[in-house]
């Protein structure tokens, strides 16, 4: 083989590479779009609790969410800063030590709408969640945990120096 042979080999290799790339891209595209479609239907199929998210008081939100009242429990751990410098991003974590925890919800009592987030804990999923919420002003934050059909709560006040609702 001489130079020409090497060139040929180089060209072939490039072709192979190009072909392989194109094929894998096409495959990825197909897999991606199929998965996309299926997953989209999945999230779409979940019924969003519109009524609960509309409520403007703790009592109404709890009633719309669970239809029962909560009992304070030290088995519900609510982690939130004492003082939030930026109300637009307040890190909040909730952990439940109660067996058979099926859902966790977080209320910010002084926000325009009380309910901020609600999580469904599947069997086999650990009863803990961390997220970031907006707070309009200093407010009590309430963590609700449904476990074994009963409702429990923990409350903490978070002082907000700059509100998260801007404007």
Please give the residue ranges that form the binding site for another protein (CB under 8 A).
31-32, 35-36, 38-40, 42-44, 46, 48-49, 53, 88-90, 93, 108, 111-113, 115-122, 124-126, 128-136, 164-167
- For residue 104, the minimal CB distance to another protein (Å) is 9
- In terms of CB distance, is 1 or 122 closer to another protein? 122
- For residue 128, the minimal CB distance to another protein (Å) is 7
- In terms of CB distance, is 14 or 36 closer to another protein? 36
Torsions phi, psi for 69 (to 5 deg):
-95, 155
Structural tokens at position 132:
């970031």
Q: Is 167 helix (H, G, I), strand (E, B) or coil?
A: coil
Count the neighbouring beta carbons within 10 Å of the beta carbon of residue 142. Answer: 25
Category of 38 on φ-ψ map: left (φ > 0), alpha (ψ -120 to 50) or beta: alpha
The four Cα atoms 19, 23, 28, 29 give a dihedral, to 10 degrees, of 100
- For residue 67, the minimal CB distance to another protein (Å) is 16
- In terms of CB distance, is 62 or 118 closer to another protein? 118
According to DSSP, residue 112 is labeled: S
- In terms of CB distance, is 11 or 106 closer to another protein? 106
């Amino acid at each position: 083989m001489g130079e020409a042979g090497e060139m040929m080999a180089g060209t072939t290799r490039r072709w192979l590479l190009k072909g392989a790339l194109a094929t894998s891209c096409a495959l990825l595209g197909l897999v991606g779009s199929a998965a996309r479609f299926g997953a989209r239907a999945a999230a779409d199929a979940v019924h969003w609790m519109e009524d609960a998210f509309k409520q403007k008081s703790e009592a109404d939100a709890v009633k719309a969410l669970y239809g029962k009242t909560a009992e304070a429990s030290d088995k519900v751990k609510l982690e939130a800063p004492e003082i939030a410098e930026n109300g637009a991003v307040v890190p909040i974590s909730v952990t439940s030590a109660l067996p058979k925890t099926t859902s966790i919800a977080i209320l910010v009592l002084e926000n325009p709408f009380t309910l901020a987030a609600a999580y469904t804990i599947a069997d086999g999923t650990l009863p803990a969640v961390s997220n970031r919420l907006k707070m309009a002003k200093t407010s009590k934050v309430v963590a609700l945990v449904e476990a074994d059909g009963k409702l429990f709560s923990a409350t903490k006040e978070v002082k907000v120096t700059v509100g998260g609702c801007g404007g």
